[in-house]
Amino acid sequence: MTIQEAQQAVDQWINSTGVRYFNELTNMAMLTEEVGEVARIIARRYGEQSFKEADKERDLSDELADVLFVVICLANQTGIDLTEALRKNLEKKTERDGERHKSNKKLEN
């Protein structure tokens, strides 16, 4: 699925099953909540915190998909083409960071 196809699929789902988009502020709050759920899993799986019994079955891929879904909702409702936005963002990063990371001694193996 391309990014454009994902934006279309989310829009179709929202308009057929979800009834309508939540407003942008609600979606921003939901995005924060979903990112927090990803952070919780990462902190326990890869960090020093231990899992609570109720958290052991949480699925990182599902939580990341929740984050992506809300990001796509925000893009759709604000008229952003994520394919073009990502292309421009990668261009910016390449121009800004093209040599910086290669010369970072902390990143050497």
Q: Which domains does the chain have, with CATH numbers?
A: 3-107 (1.10.287.1080)
Q: What predicted TM-score, i.e. pTM, was given to this entire model?
A: 0.89
> Which amino acid appears at position 94 of this protein?
T
Q: How many CB atoms lie within 10 A of CB 73?
A: 23
Q: What is the mean pLDDT of residues 37-61?
A: 89
So what's the pLDDT on residue 32? 98
pLDDT digits (tens, 9 = 90+) for 31-46: 999 999 999 999 999 9
Mean pLDDT of the chain: 94
Q: What is the mean pLDDT of residues 85-100?
A: 93
For residue 79, name the pLDDT band (cuts at 50, 70, 90). Answer: very high
Is residue 109 over pLDDT 80?
A: no
Is residue 59 over pLDDT 90?
A: yes
- Annotate 40-52 with b (16+ C-beta within 10 A) or e (fewer): bbeebeeeeeeee
So what's the pLDDT on residue 27? 98
DSSP one-letter code for 47: S
